[in-house]
Amino acid sequence: MGMYNGSQASKTPTDLNSSDMLDSLNEGDLIRSLDVLKLYSRTKALQVVFTIELLERLKQDQRYREVVVQSCHPGKPHASSTSL
């Protein structure tokens, strides 16, 4: 299990619906291992989406067309919370 430490992002408007797993958590709540893995997977997917969007925006400006944008997987984390 992991522990939810709160998030500044949850205090800002989002497009997430009310069934999002973070909406039901309060700071200090325990999170099941499977949910920790789901959250980790979601952050990695969003990292790729962000990278693609950044690339598209940079390509629109002549000054930044030569910039290389990459997204890499850091490898499997070795925390006990991800041992299923």
Determine the Cα–Cα distance for residues 24 and 50; give it in Å rounded to an integer. Answer: 25
No. of helices (H) and no. of strands (E), the chain: 1, 2
CB under 8 Å to 1, separation ≥6 — which residues? 30, 31, 32, 33, 36, 81
Across-strand partners of 3?
A: 30
Query: How far lies 35's CA from each of 4, 47, 67, 74, in Å?
Result: 11, 18, 36, 19
pLDDT at 2: 45
pLDDT digits (tens, 9 = 90+) for 32-81: 887 888 888 888 888 999 999 999 999 999 999 899 998 887 766 666 65
Question: Residue 11: how many CB atoms within 10 A of its CB?
Answer: 8
- pTM here is 0.54
